Structure 1
Amino acid sequence: MIITEEYPHTAISTWSGFVYQGKVALYHCLRLLEKSYDDSKCYRLQLESADDFAVYLADKCISIHQVKAYKDGSFSKYRGAVKKQVTDSLKYPGASVYFHVSTCINDLPEGFNVKYKPVSIYTYRSNGIDQNFCNLSDLDQLVETEISEIYKKAGEGSSHKLSGPYLERSRNILENIIIDKVIDVHAKIQREGKATDREIAAKEYISFSKICDVLEDELTEALLTEDFFFKQLLIDIGTYYKRFFDEACRDDGDVCNFDKLDSYIALLCGLDKRRLRDFIKSVLPQKRGEFKNIDQYKSETFSLEDLRDGLFRVLDRLTTAGIEREKRLVFSWFHEGRFYYPTALRGSELIDAKKICKRIIQNSIANEVEFLYESGVLVTVGVDVESLPSVYSVGPNSMDEDNALSHRRIAHFKDISLVSYSKVSEDLKDE
């Protein structure tokens, strides 16, 4: 039966952490299916209630899982969470209790399994070797390995499913099942404001049979719709933010303002398709922000480098932005009569600036990036241009080649400049 008297703390709104937890949950579900496919079909996955995730057989909880994605490898960082999981496990007698970590714990206490019974550090299988940790960068490969093992056991009729592209497609579609559930839970939380996050999450399950349906189906490219890529972009945001987080903690000694960035990520992952398209065009004004097919997803949206090395760095280094949320999501700062907008633009050489400015002007005219027609400053990483048209040739030959541009149109951009985040006023920096 569902535990109702007390619900543990949930972090379902922390999108980047949830993306990692979701990938771990998917991996565990696939391991159960790979071990005993028919027996595991009747299981159900529960997210963010009994623990970070849990597996149920009918109304009985058979395992609870805590997931920690810290960079710290010392047990002291985890001791409190382990103790709490020992206490929480009393509500689920007979359930296996697993603690997942992304970094190897170097000083795990001797006799851990006795002192902290029934908690066990979860063991992953990587290249035939068991290890008690798994970082984000390895998870996708481990998930695809489990999928391939299931396909192999299905027989010769599934041999075509063992190619790299097919395994990646399978993983993406399975991840989207989890994202669908997260979005559904968020919507219910908003509609039922009096209920707590944990109460709502406790009633939501993903049947293993839904996972099996994907594994047994033929995953043609017809399934790769705009809705599919929209959900994939939400996963990308969380994945890329987690990598930014990990690298900042490693390289900068955890000096980033992650409370501020977490609030930004929550807003990004609450966007619908139209507003996500608009946001992509605003932070990557040289792109169209379209994702109706695989080519657009790869070429007209953001990449890991765009977010990790561009936008997230700009948002981190500047003070808390003013936020417009009504028609579209726009972060901005107002300083000495000018608006400053964050972008994911990166570069250093003049040739980069020329290409960027040309693409911004062409794309903005063709795809109506409205704020670019106003005066303002686009904050970048390593690109400085006093005025967009200043480094973009607008002579007759260029005009003929572009065919869509005119001196009058380009004049709209004369008050738009690009500036590196390191060169903005000290008043805008979050030191």
Structure 2
Amino acid sequence: MAVAPQVFPHTAISTWSGFVYQGKLALYHCLKMMSSDYEANRDLKLQLESQDDFAIFRHQQCLSMHQVKAYKDTRFSAYSDGITTQRDNARQRGTPLAYFHVAREVTNIPATFEADYVPVRFYTYPIPLDVDGNVTQSFCPLNQVDIFIQNELSSLLVNVAGQPAWKNFIVANIQNTLEAIVNSKVIITHSKIHESARHQAAIAASEFIEFSELYGVIEADDYAPFENEAFFLSRLQIDIGTYYQEFCERQDGLSQAACQKLDDYLAAITALDAEGMKAFLRATMPHKKGRFNTLGEFKDQSLDRDAMRLGMFTIFWKLVQAACNEGSGVAFSWLSDGIFYYPTGIHHAAEHQESICHDIMQQAISEGVECLFECGALITSAIGRPSISDVLVGIDATEGVDTAEHELLRENRIGNYKKVAMVSLINVPESLKDAEPD
């Protein structure tokens, strides 16, 4: 969502927590436009974060502007400032349509809303259980947006675009490909604005997605070429962003300062390139077993909802801002009394510590993951352990190397393992704990 400096009197707002939702709603509206006149709308383009959260253009003319709010609050008063701003901007620019998208049903809407706020209107969506689409609602719950996209896409493929029947069996794949295009642009724009919020309009004014690119996906004969590293990087960003939004949704005590700190983390994570994302996931999910050579493998095996919500984001929230240390294989770390502390997604209870340590070491040995072993401590949600090396029984630390090198390698590796500890979040040094009230 738009990230220009604002005042939020009702609740703390994370400006990054809704970027996935925003991108999905933008895609949904693009599909609606394609369905309304498939051939005539090939020349449209989607703009992000300039006129509004997103806007539809034909050449230099803005056809509609869209604002997206995923607030917990349902009272109209929580949205009135945003609606007023959108109304004034639309009138000033002569934009005929201004849509306000919300995740929850808004209450206490004034009886004079239509007259007072024209051309602003709440965007409507079909009620999912209404097969004929004759009944609508003026909000889109976070957990229903995928249903809307899939239904609209299926209808577009069959009833409008005249695509072959086999494409209906891969609607999810086509959706993922379309979302990757939109998400990549959302990420780029958000990241640029995050670095220089003062120049938001200038930065975002040229950030367009041509509808022709979306048509190219709809009409493709083969979808395998789309599933490249850029695709899987985008899918990982979408997953991480979704988990972050869920995390923020569940927290009632996030201050604006905490939101800003967490937004900084998410901005840094989503700015990672493919190799950076691999390094980040190896470091923060050291207990995940697998041969992670591609982002597709990370996508399928490494990242999960609880590891991010209960592990990573909770650690980021509770501790002070972490630094990125030059030359380190780990994206974020804290330094206290000469010891580096590294965040992880390990959220398991203390009774699972033996198996977790075993998995970390087994993975590091078999896949050569060395980035964690920098004589520090791995921060977990609940596990504390002075060393992870006392689970070496049954693990061959020399597997895969020449016999002549066995003893030296074993000695070096075990020496490194003895220097790696695990510390529970509650027991990290007090100097690293955030003083912000919960």
Q: What TM-score comes out, normalization by structure 1 length?
A: 0.86
- 1:147 has 2:147 as partner: no
Q: Deviations over 1:175-208 (max 9, x none)?
A: 11123334555798899x9993322321232121
Match of 1:297 in 2: 299
For the Cα contact (< 8 Å) 1:8–1:50, is it kept in 2? no
Q: Once the two structures are aligned, what percentage of the paired residues are identical?
A: 34
- 1:176 has 2:176 as partner: no
For the Cα contact (< 8 Å) 2:292–2:298, is it kept in 1? yes
* Within-5 A mapping of 1:26-425: 26-127=27-128, 128=130, 129-154=135-160, 158-163=164-169, 166-182=170-186, 185=189, 196-249=199-252, 252=253, 257-287=258-288, 290=292, 292=294, 294-299=296-301, 301-324=302-325, 330-350=331-351, 352-390=352-390, 392-394=391-393, 398-399=395-396, 408=411, 409-425=413-429
Separation in structure 1 between the aligned mates of residue 43 and residue 108 of structure 2, nearest angstrom: 38
Deviation at 1:346, TM superposition (A): 1.7
CA RMSD across the alignment: 3.1
User: The residue matched to 1:324 in structure 2 has which SS?
Assistant: coil
AA matched with 2:201: R
Deviation at 1:67, TM superposition (A): 0.9
Match of 2:9 in 1: none
AA matched with 1:234: Q
For the Cα contact (< 8 Å) 1:281–1:289, is it kept in 2? no
User: The residue matched to 2:62 in structure 1 has which SS?
Assistant: strand
Separation in structure 2 between the aligned mates of residue 194 and residue 382 of structure 1, nearest angstrom: 37
Match of 2:11 in 1: none
For the Cα contact (< 8 Å) 1:387–1:415, is it kept in 2? yes
How many residues end up aligned between the 2 structures?
414
User: The residue matched to 2:421 in structure 1 has which SS?
Assistant: strand
Q: 1:342 to 1:188 in 2, by over 3 A?
A: closer
For the Cα contact (< 8 Å) 2:329–2:372, is it kept in 1? no
Match of 2:24 in 1: 23
Deviation at 1:59, TM superposition (A): 1.7
For the Cα contact (< 8 Å) 2:3–2:194, is it kept in 1? no
Q: 1:133 to 1:195 in 2, by over 3 A?
A: closer
For the Cα contact (< 8 Å) 2:247–2:313, is it kept in 1? yes
User: The residue matched to 1:373 in structure 2 has which SS?
Assistant: coil
Separation in structure 1 between the aligned mates of residue 115 and residue 284 of structure 2, nearest angstrom: 52
Match of 1:4 in 2: none
AA matched with 1:346: H
Separation in structure 1 between the aligned mates of residue 346 and residue 203 of structure 2, nearest angstrom: 40
For the Cα contact (< 8 Å) 2:328–2:371, is it kept in 1? no
AA matched with 1:176: A
For the Cα contact (< 8 Å) 1:343–1:380, is it kept in 2? yes
Deviation at 1:377, TM superposition (A): 1.1
Structure 2 unmatched runs, 5+: 7-13
Separation in structure 2 between the aligned mates of residue 8 and residue 319 of structure 1, nearest angstrom: 23
For the Cα contact (< 8 Å) 1:41–1:209, is it kept in 2? yes
Separation in structure 2 between the aligned mates of residue 253 and residue 200 of structure 1, nearest angstrom: 29
AA matched with 2:292: E
AA matched with 1:131: Q
Separation in structure 2 between the aligned mates of residue 425 and residue 53 of structure 1, nearest angstrom: 44
Separation in structure 2 between the aligned mates of residue 253 and residue 190 of structure 1, nearest angstrom: 20
Q: Deviations over 1:98-133 (max 9, x none)?
A: 111112112212221112111101111231341111
Separation in structure 2 between the aligned mates of residue 374 and residue 204 of structure 1, nearest angstrom: 41
Deviation at 1:79, TM superposition (A): 1.0
Q: 1:108 to 1:303 in 2, by over 3 A?
A: same
Higher mean C-alpha displacement, 104-113 vs 284-293: 284-293
Separation in structure 2 between the aligned mates of residue 187 and residue 253 of structure 1, nearest angstrom: 22
Q: What TM-score comes out, normalization by structure 2 length?
A: 0.85
